[in-house]
Amino acid sequence: MNQNILDPTEFIDRATTLMKSSYVFTRRIISALYFSLFNYWAYKTFHDQGIKGKGPNHDKFDHKDFSRTLIENNLGPQIVLLYKYRVLVDHYLLDPNIIEVWDKEVAKIIREDKIKVNINESILEKIINSAKEILNWLKYNY
Amino acid sequence: MAVITQKEQNNMNISLAFITQKETISKKFDEIEQLSSWLNANYNSSIKELIDELIKQSLLIRLRRYTGEATIEKLSEIANSEGLPFLTELLNLLDDLREKYGKYGGPYLDCVFDDETGELMYFVAIFQDAGWEEWKEIESYLKLKQTYTKKYLTTLCLKAFRE
């Protein structure tokens, strides 16, 4: 299997041009950006680094390990932003919605207007740029 | 088994006294840490484990300034595998972030889970009023200071979602 077969460079370029064409495209492409990077990371982990995952073929990897790898390598804001929005578009329906704060005691401290978010032009730019920064790191440094 | 001198017995009594004075553990942290090293060098591992547990509880009590009980439980689980340096560094980092970036409304410590499996992914230090540029700055500052928490702790700046 070609080492670069899951390199999402072209996908990300083409997908981001379609991102604003309709609301369904926007939501689905946010999710696809995340998963294209996750797949690429898993593929490089398996092939380039020789690390075994789970499952009968040892090719199933955890999202937590993907995130932790990026966090460890100075891409915390990029993966946190992308993951939070990926969860919003895959698991929640309403827009605007809220960024979930898990710890109830912390959630009580933070005002609701601080966690209310929507999908707008500005956030799409941040998501696209974050995806590209993660891609570059995976491509050239991982 | 080594014979325990009166002086050593006295030192052990001091360590046991800490057990019954949980509320003062926080203040005695430095002494306990030194005592732990001394016990580690001179006595068996069970005493070391006991003292380590006291230090761990002391650190968790201090971390309550930044988060709720549910997150403390998760931190305790990670500390079991990563050891005390994880908690010590985390507390120092949060103190440091509060001093330097407290103007941005934080940090408050929260957990992020894998939405499909329910597994803990990482911890986030939340700032309510920091935007995208400040987020990157805070993260860069954090990363320079991390060793034991590097893959577990990142930041989450809520204003970046609303800009």
Under DSSP, the state recorded for A20 is T
* Contact in structure between B74 and B122 (CB atoms under 8 Å): no
List Cβ neighbours of A77 (8 Å cut-off, separation of 6 or more).
A130, B132, B135, B136, B139, B154, B155, B157, B160
**pLDDT reported for residue B7:** 54
Spatial CA neighbour of A25 closest among A15, A14, A34, A11: A15
Distance in Å, alpha carbon of B86 to nearest chain A alpha carbon: 14
User: What is the average per-residue pLDDT within A113-132?
Assistant: 95
The 10 Å Cβ neighbour count of residue A20 is: 12
Percent residues over pLDDT 70 in chain B: 73
| Whole-number Å distance between alpha carbons of B99 and B48 | 33
Q: What CA–CA distance (Å, rounded) separates A77 from A1?
A: 33
Per-residue tokens: B15: 């360590």
pLDDT band of residue B146 (cuts 50, 70, 90) is very high
Q: Note whether B67 contacts A109, CB cutoff 8 Å.
A: no
A-proximal residues of B, 92-111, CB under 8 Å: 105, 108-111
What's the rounded Cα separation, in Å, for the pair B63 and B45? 26
ipTM score of complex: 0.94
| B150–A72 CB contact, under 8 Å | yes
Instruction: Say which of A72, A103, A126 has its CB closest to residue B111.
Output: A103
pLDDT tens sequence across A11-27: 999 999 999 999 999 99
